[in-house]
Structure 1
Amino acid sequence: MEYQKKQLVNGVIWSGIDKLGVVVVQLLLEIILARHLLPKDYGVIGMATIFIALGILFSESGFSSALIQKQNRTETDFSTAFYFNLAISVCFVALVFLIAPFAADFFNTPILKNVLRILSLGIILNALVMVHKTKLSISLDFKTQAKISFVSLLVSGCLGVYLAINDYGVWSLVAQILGQNLITTVLFFVVVKWIPLRVFSRESFSHMFTFGSKILAAGLLQSVYTNLYYLFIGKRMSASTLGLYTKANQFTFMPASLISGVLQRVMFPFFSSFQNDDDKIFNFNQQYTRLVCLFVFPIFNYLCIFSTPLVYIGLSDRWMQIIPILQILSACYIFQPIIVNNMVLFQVKNKVKLYFKVELITKIIGVIILLVTFRYGIIALCYGLLLQLILQLIITSLYCQSILRKGMAAQLLVILPYIFFSVSMWLILHLINSRLNMQMQLILGSFVFICLYLFFYFTVFKSKILTIYKLLKKD
């Protein structure tokens, strides 16, 4: 399937509206919820996330990526993927119901048993619409997904806020999460109107599993590694500390998810349509990296610089302990969208064994860093995560350029100027903010921040911005 640049632009725009709308609404809802809930409430959700994330990963089993990557996919392929994903999700939920009491005992948090069991139902709901989402992604129809995401988040978010205001504590978060899953599932079935055939093909399953199993293994590695942080913090520190980490992770990962999600959902099927043209992939990937840097670096730099007034004014003074965690994670996730796209290129080129190899190398490094840093507290642990992501960026960039037979440091050279300017901006604004109260930091400091970034972009990168604009404007 070939795509026109107009489809690419429309895909980026609607995928952006989808992600941006969701992130903006979710950010507002999280601020309201945080003012009525305690860090320990988010800590309980963080504990449950360890199991739920694994369940969703197993329920998808890499079949969504396999369907997108396959160019001659059929309805039999879609139906086979649907039945397999649904069966896996049901089995995993049954397992969660069995181990929930042991998980509650392990974390010494009795309420976790029921929270985990209820939230696990979302794994089945996610499996029911996996194919619906995949079909829309293949056709670059992100407009429909945008509407579904926005409606489900808005309705479930209002429910969560209502319950939080009425002192339901952690259950307000449970209701919001499960409610969003349920509404999303219903809307996908109503809007997409796809029903699986009564067929399960072993040949189709074998083909998709060959590709998807490598994606699953790599995703499992990533999920286990990510959840090790929740495990170590929840077990060795406290529910409140885990709540601070979970909330800081939400505020920093949301912008990273916005950018990487917008472009990844479009770029994977787009790159896959010319997967044998290395020069074209390389050129588009370089433009992608510049585009990501243009958007991501200012967002995370702003979060890092203005974290103190943002937390104090937005969340209240009882969340002030989150500030250093928020600052470090802001620096961490600045590289996330680029790393995600690097890993997508391995899938586009059908280098799934290399994909898993790179994940294995980077996660072994990450686990070693985690084992060294966690005993020194949450701040040291966060600095360790920053080091791991920097190393992962370097490793994935070098491998990507290698499979495209291009200069080994091409992508890294694109990123360096943005890093240099971001550090310079941090130093300048740190000096200015140290002489201002919190309200003036947000007003005057933000004005200086915007002016400096605009000056920098339109004097140093004006030609690059115009190149990206012309590239996307072409039919």
Structure 2
Amino acid sequence: MPDLEGQAARGGLWAAGETALVRGLELFRYVAIARLLVPSQIGLFTFGIITLSVVKRFSNLGIDAAIIAQDGDIDRQLDTAFSLQIVRSLVLAGLLYVAAPIPAAVFGDESVVRLVRLIAIIPLIDTVENPATVVFEKELNFRRRSLFRISGVLANAAVSVALAYRFRSVDALVAGVLAGAAVHTVVSHLLTDHSPWPSLDIEQMRTLFDYGKWLTGSSIVSWIYREGDDALVGAVVGSAGLAYYRSAFQFGQAPQSELTGVVSEVAFPTYAQVKDDAHALLVGYRRTLAVAVTAVFPAAVGTALVAPVFVPVVLGPGWEPTIRPLQIIALAAIGHAVAATAGSLWQALDRPDLSTKTQTLSMVVLAVTAVPATLAYGVVGTATAVTVTAFAVAPVRILLVGRLLDTSIPSLLTPLAGPALATGLMAAAVAPTVTALPTTLLGLLGSIGVGVVAYGAALVALDATRLGALDPVRELLTALR
């Protein structure tokens, strides 16, 4: 991909910076809220967000991915997308308002009705958001995409934390989400050149639907796999248990998942531009996988090791039940790092059905393991089921990538060797450090510092072997130059 390497690398830096800032804001917000509200309040809010995500995911039409992957009249596509967006958002708002008693019955808390009806305002705000923001990814314009995404997260964090400090109420979290949606909508019009106008272009709708139908199925299955565990914990354990589990997920898996998400977001439009060049696709996939695992492997293992210090220092007293599920679920990111890079390749090659099929497999494995594990062991059982599922499905996705690119599995997985060994050496240095240092902020920072130094030194040492552990870093710098 010689003509695209520099563009993709610069996009990767913007995406990485965006993700770091967004994740930092989200984690700041979460930590502040954890210290201002009690776990049951945070769990109650999560009930409402789960309900919103259900209706959004089950009605996802895959339009954005279709616009990115396909050629054609972009103005026609965007106007058609705007029409579909208006109809979908209005339907979602009405459905949330009318069906609010259902999640209240599922979670066993009547206060969920009022909360869900407040959250129903969010789709109404989304109705007029400019769909042209999808062009940022299609054209690898990650600078504008970063400004768009960060604006909403910043508004959400500022409003929710300020109101939580003032009123100590779960309504502060709802107000933050509404503020973020409103700012997103305004900024979407300020950053884009296209002014959307509703269009009933049946031919264009058919084209977008034809591509997006598999992504609709994938979105449904993905929700069951990624958020069905939240619903299960909320229904079985209650609002406080859900807060503990969500905290474990936020700090254990989500940060690492964001890293692989950055790589995949940059890779998708890049793959789409070279999808007829088999060699370029293979080289690009290996680089994508190498960058992902180099970042995720140490982050996942390091998080698991420092969890006993991290939880009391960062979240404060009362959050100790988060420690064990955090240690377990952090390791799931290793399996996800290996598996997640396949999705963007499949979309670019017009095979989104593979994402749906493998996510269906993930859903089945998780359902079989999570229900009995949660009933028997609570949030620890759920975290274990999620991690087992991640490691069980990753080999299947890699096998499908190998067949699609007509290459051997060892050839695909070679980039994993260096980061895996370096992570093992890092763990050997960090484990005794966590035990020796006090449970304070300085102790936590000391353990993290030891991990960073140990991992970096291990990569340098292993780079002298045939493993080429620093190759992902070198290739990124070369592309930038």
Give me the TM-score of the superposition, normalised by structure 1: 0.93
Q: Which amino acid aligns with 2:459?
A: Y
Alignment-derived partner of residue 56 in structure 1: 56
Alignment-derived partner of residue 304 in structure 1: 304
CA distance in 2, matches of 1:423, 1:86: 50
Q: Which amino acid aligns with 2:119?
A: L
Question: What do residues 352-372 of structure 1 show as CA deviations (whole Å, max 9, x unaligned)?
Answer: 333322222232122112233
Alignment-derived partner of residue 190 in structure 2: 190
Answer yes or no: is the 8 Å Cα contact 2:130–2:196 preserved in 1: no
3-state SS in 2 of match to 1:205: helix
> Against the structure 1 CA distance between its residues 199 and 238, is the aligned structure 2 distance closer, same or farther, given a 3 Å change threshold?
closer
> Against the structure 1 CA distance between its residues 17 and 183, is the aligned structure 2 distance closer, same or farther, given a 3 Å change threshold?
same
> Against the structure 1 CA distance between its residues 324 and 411, is the aligned structure 2 distance closer, same or farther, given a 3 Å change threshold?
farther
Q: CA RMSD in A?
A: 2.3
Alignment-derived partner of residue 144 in structure 2: 144
Alignment of 1:9-158 (within 5 A): 9-58=9-58, 60-126=60-126, 128-129=128-129, 131-158=131-158
Question: What do residues 388-424 of structure 1 show as CA deviations (whole Å, max 9, x unaligned)?
Answer: 0011211111111111111134334432553454345
From 434, 445, 448, give the equivalent of 1:446: 448
Alignment-derived partner of residue 399 in structure 1: 400
| CA drift at 1:329 | 1.5
| CA drift at 1:58 | 4.5
> Against the structure 1 CA distance between its residues 257 and 358, is the aligned structure 2 distance closer, same or farther, given a 3 Å change threshold?
closer
Alignment of 1:256-405 (within 5 A): 256-377=256-377, 378-405=379-406
Answer yes or no: is the 8 Å Cα contact 1:68–1:269 preserved in 2: yes
> Against the structure 1 CA distance between its residues 300 and 108, is the aligned structure 2 distance closer, same or farther, given a 3 Å change threshold?
same
3-state SS in 1 of match to 2:274: coil
Q: Which amino acid aligns with 1:381?
A: T
Question: What do residues 294-325 of structure 1 show as CA deviations (whole Å, max 9, x unaligned)?
Answer: 11122222211111222111111211111111
| CA drift at 1:188 | 0.9
| CA drift at 1:428 | 4.1
Matched, 1:432 2:437: no
> Against the structure 1 CA distance between its residues 57 and 210, is the aligned structure 2 distance closer, same or farther, given a 3 Å change threshold?
same
> Against the structure 1 CA distance between its residues 16 and 215, is the aligned structure 2 distance closer, same or farther, given a 3 Å change threshold?
same
CA distance in 2, matches of 1:191, 1:81: 18
| CA drift at 1:472 | 5.4
Answer yes or no: is the 8 Å Cα contact 2:133–2:145 preserved in 1: yes
Answer yes or no: is the 8 Å Cα contact 1:245–1:322 preserved in 2: yes
3-state SS in 2 of match to 1:129: coil
Q: More relative contact order in 1 or in 2 (CA 8 Å, sep 6+)? A: 1
Answer yes or no: is the 8 Å Cα contact 2:81–2:131 preserved in 1: yes
CA distance in 2, matches of 1:275, 1:345: 9
Q: How many pairs align?
A: 475
| CA drift at 1:443 | 4.3
CA distance in 1, matches of 2:235, 2:287: 43
> Against the structure 1 CA distance between its residues 128 and 263, is the aligned structure 2 distance closer, same or farther, given a 3 Å change threshold?
farther
CA distance in 2, matches of 1:152, 1:238: 30
Identical-residue share of aligned pairs (%): 18
Q: Give the unaligned 5+ runs of structure 1.
A: none
Give me the TM-score of the superposition, normalised by structure 2: 0.92
> Against the structure 1 CA distance between its residues 54 and 322, is the aligned structure 2 distance closer, same or farther, given a 3 Å change threshold?
same
Alignment-derived partner of residue 465 in structure 1: 470
CA distance in 2, matches of 1:311, 1:133: 37
CA distance in 2, matches of 1:77, 1:427: 53
> Against the structure 1 CA distance between its residues 9 and 53, is the aligned structure 2 distance closer, same or farther, given a 3 Å change threshold?
same
